[in-house]
Amino acid sequence: MQVNVDKDQIILKKSIEVVAVFLFEGQLPLGGMVSHIDKAANGLIQQIWKENDFEGKLHQTAILYPRGNTEIRRVILVGLGKRGDFSADKMRAAGAKAGQTARSLKVKSLAVTLEADELELSWESATEAVVEGIILGLYQFTEFKTLDRESIRDVEQLHIMIQDLKNIPLVKKAADRAEKICRAVYLSRNLVSSPANEMTPSVMAREVLSIAKGHKKMKATVLEAADMKRLGMNALLGVARGSEEPSKFIIIEYRGEGKERPPIVLIGKALTFDSGGISLKPAEKMDEMKTDMAGGAAVIGAISAAAELHLPVNIVGLIPATENLPGGKACKPGDILKSMSGKTIEVINTDAEGRLILADALTYAGRFKPAAIIDIATLTGACIVALGDHVMGMMGTDEKLKARIKKASEQTGELLWELPLWENYQDLVKSDIADYKNSTGRPGGAITAAAFLSKFVGPYPWVHLDIAGPAWLTKDQTYNPKGASGVGVRLFVQLLTNWSDAH
């Protein structure tokens, strides 16, 4: 998407396919740029408003065809709902509505008017919200469609119209930042949408290597099975054993700050397919388990955005990548694995594989003496039962880190709720014959998974994010069309941005 920022006069002069304007419920009289457009269009906007055919209700849209002293061919009105309920996230949703409506009109370029003061947002957040909403809402995954490709439509250009010349540099900068972040979300969504036969651990590793090539401050390393064996990553290798696809341990480093500064380690679970293994999942919806690498995809997206934005932070991404299949050599229920930490794990259920590969990644993270470790994983169905489809679960050992993540989530609109990790959960993961067991049954499943992970975290601030629900949407959700959401990418970028602002 090409994003331009222009002074508003151009709207009235140039021939323009469509301009979208955003209006609060009951927002009369019209002010600012909207009133200019309305005047040029002989009061068309006033008229629809007076007829009560458009009231500015949240997500309400109307399309107008002005005649009169203007070259604007169409105006899309988008409702913002009640002023008192408004937020940056509502602006993203409204942006998505504008973009999607423009696409349905088959236009190639969309203009939007932006009046941050009217929205009571800063220019940065208003711009970011509208650009994010439009671009994220227009995402489509069409790579594998070969029929009727000419019917695939895309809005290619976005013009942001503002009234005051002096704000142009600020708005340009914010739009550029938003566009880069959206590109990273698209990257993550594409990785997740790709089917498991195309998106294998080897392909993921190759993608990361090629991303790292494009940035001076980025470096990628891929550990092969032999390397993992040498390191004693037998929990990860135990999961990989049932599959013919070689597993990979992908390491991405981005050094945006002095070399010696301890990095933030982001760990992303990457099961490119999770069949459950010998503890096989039911057939229904098993296809969705191609998305079990969404944590890894979020880490890849976030680090590539951090590099594009030149964020002054050091980050290490660790992505254990494998398939979980019931092959002849597969790990069996009852097997005991010796993890890289030396601790032994009894495998009660081979479908609780995420925590096994994360255990070794958490141990490996200790090598970097990190300032913080955050893991992100489609870890448990139990988290969906607890919080629903749209909310990620947060558990961890460090209050300050949790508060930072909570704040970032409030800024990006990626819903998150903390679940407790009290001491009384810790005994549940003990095994009778090994140190720990990988499954404790249904009660508190999201939390007992986190309790298990905590056994492999060294003396570092740590937070675990369970994205089993929001990683994959079965229904359109404003700026997240159904399918892969790319959840976590914007959250991490915001967290890292705030982090770099803080020191």
> Which residues 6+ apart lie within 8 Å of 384 measured at CB?
468, 469
Kindly tell me the sign of the dihedral angle through the C-alpha atoms of 14, 19, 23, 27.
Answer: positive
| Minimum gap (Å) between residue 354 Cβ and Zn ion | 4
Nearer to ligand BES, 385 or 403 (CB): 385
| Minimum gap (Å) between residue 379 Cβ and Mn ion | 9
From 200-208, 250-258, 352-360, 442-450, span contacting Zn ion (CB under 5 A) = 352-360
Provide the H-helix boundaries in 442-488.
445-454
Tell me the backbone φ, ψ of residue 493, rounded to 5 degrees.
-60, -40
**Position closest to Mn ion via CB:** 351
Region 259-288 residues binding Mn ion, contact defined as CB under 5 A: 274
Nearer to ligand BES, 6 or 335 (CB): 335
Nearer to ligand BES, 254 or 452 (CB): 452
Q: Which of 189, 355, 402, 490 is catalytic?
A: 355
Tell me the backbone φ, ψ of residue 55, rounded to 5 degrees.
-120, 0
The pair of three-digit structure tokens given for residue 445, joined into one six-digit string? 């499943």
Residues 269-288: x where in contact with ligand BES by CB under 6 A, - otherwise, as a string: -----x--------------
Packed helices 294-308 and 168-193: angle between N→C axes, nearest 10 degrees? 150
Residues 294-333: x where in contact with ligand BES by CB under 6 A, - otherwise, as a string: ----------------------------------------
The pair of three-digit structure tokens given for residue 126, joined into one six-digit string? 């208003």
Nearer to Mn ion, 324 or 409 (CB): 324
Nearer to ligand BES, 399 or 427 (CB): 427
Nearer to Mn ion, 279 or 485 (CB): 279
CB 401 within 8 A of CB 265: no
Query: Which does residue 465 bind out of Mn ion, ligand BES, Zn ion, none, counting CB within 5 to 8 angstroms by kind?
Result: none
Q: Is 351 near ligand BES (CB under 6 A)?
A: yes
Q: Is 351 near Mn ion (CB under 5 A)?
A: yes
Sequence letter at residue 401: L
Please confirm, yes or no, whether 355 is among the known catalytic residues: yes
Query: Which does residue 110 bind out of Zn ion, ligand BES, Mn ion, none, counting CB within 5 to 8 angstroms by kind?
Result: none
Query: Which does residue 380 bind out of ligand BES, Zn ion, Mn ion, none, counting CB within 5 to 8 angstroms by kind?
Result: ligand BES
The residue within the footprint of ligand BES, chosen from 8, 128, 346, 353 (CB under 6 A), is 353
> Which residues 6+ apart lie within 8 Å of 403 measured at CB?
none
From 159-167, 227-235, 297-305, 345-353, span contacting ligand BES (CB under 6 A) = 345-353
Number of residues that bind Zn ion (CB under 5 A): 4
| Minimum gap (Å) between residue 281 Cβ and Mn ion | 7
Residues 277-296: x where in contact with Zn ion by CB under 5 A, - otherwise, as a string: ---------------x----
Q: How far is CA 333 from CA 112, 191, 245, 432, 496, in A?
A: 57, 31, 21, 14, 40
d(CA 472, CA 189): 9
The residue within the footprint of ligand BES, chosen from 118, 292, 346, 375 (CB under 6 A), is 292
d(CA 313, CA 384): 32
**Position closest to Zn ion via CB:** 274
Nearer to Mn ion, 101 or 291 (CB): 291
Tell me the backbone φ, ψ of residue 482, rounded to 5 degrees.
-60, 150
CB 101 within 8 A of CB 151: no
Q: Is 352 near ligand BES (CB under 6 A)?
A: yes
Burial pattern 206-232, b for ≥16 Cβ within 10 A else e, equals: ebbeebbeebeebebebbebeebeebb
From 37-45, 167-175, 246-254, 376-384, span contacting ligand BES (CB under 6 A) = 376-384
Tell me the backbone φ, ψ of residue 378, rounded to 5 degrees.
-80, 75
Q: Is 38 near Mn ion (CB under 5 A)?
A: no
3-state SS string for 363-415:
HHHHHHCCCEEEEEECCCHHHHHHHCCCCEEEEECCHHHHHHHHHHHHHHCCC
Q: What is the dihedral of CA 82, 95, 50, 163, to 10 degrees?
A: 100
Number of residues that bind ligand BES (CB under 6 A): 15
Q: Which of 57, 206, 281, 343 is catalytic?
A: 281
- Of 203, 241, 229, the residue nearest 350 (C-alpha): 241
73 Rama class: left (phi>0) / alpha (psi -120 to 50) / beta: alpha
Nearer to ligand BES, 3 or 419 (CB): 419
The residue within the footprint of Zn ion, chosen from 274, 323, 346, 360 (CB under 5 A), is 274
d(CA 201, CA 178): 29
Sequence letter at residue 199: M
- Of 378, 386, 388, 381, the residue nearest 281 (C-alpha): 381
From 44-52, 114-122, 327-335, 372-380, span contacting ligand BES (CB under 6 A) = 372-380
The residue within the footprint of ligand BES, chosen from 366, 381, 458, 483 (CB under 6 A), is 381
**Position closest to ligand BES via CB:** 381
- Report the interface residues with ligand BES, using CB under 6 A: 274, 292, 349, 351-354, 378-382, 439, 445, 468
* Binding residues for Zn ion (CB under 5 A): 271, 274, 292, 354
Annotated catalytic residues are: 281, 355
Binding footprint of Mn ion on the chain (CB under 5 A): 274, 351, 353
